[in-house]
Copies of this chain bind each other. A is one copy, B any other.
């Protein structure tokens, strides 16, 4: 664990107030999309996920302790007060599987449901087995098996086994 390198001139911030809630928590990942039907097909038929809410602008899926939202990009830009959101963005999402043998069949399902292959599954230097598929909005999903991380029966993923 390296020491935090501070840019010159910046003072450390005051500590949080005693008792303040500061959860290591992400409540939602919202993906900007342009075609709700194509997106629904990828997530509902490719991954097999069921929405918890949908209207003409957004679909929410209840995930492992957080929500996944697929939201029309114009509406996301208006909410964020920022125009010109670009694709592909500098991020990826991952879905980890318990067994190595599940990686390629899921990638095949995602491709059949409108995904686009970015990288065939192989073994990275850091171990495990993974490939990448872009969703119909060009958002990258890593489909991975990583024996060094644990996956609980309720989907909660923990660093280390």
Chain A residues proximal to chain B, CB less than 8 Å:
1-2, 4-7, 10, 12-13, 16, 20-33, 37-38, 40-41, 44-54, 60-68, 73, 76, 79-82, 84-98, 102, 109, 112-114, 118-119, 124, 132, 134, 137, 139-140, 142, 144, 146, 149, 151, 154-160
Contacts and interface: CB of A to CB of B under 8 A. Distances in A.
Q: For the complex formed by this chain, how many copies does it contain in all?
A: 2
Nearest to A91: B31
A78 to B, nearest CB: 10
A87 B88 contact: no
Nearest to A143: B27
Given A54-B1, A90-B32, A63 B26 contact: yes
Given A64-B26, A158-B62, A48 B85 contact: no
A46 B60 CA distance: 28
B80 A119 contact: yes
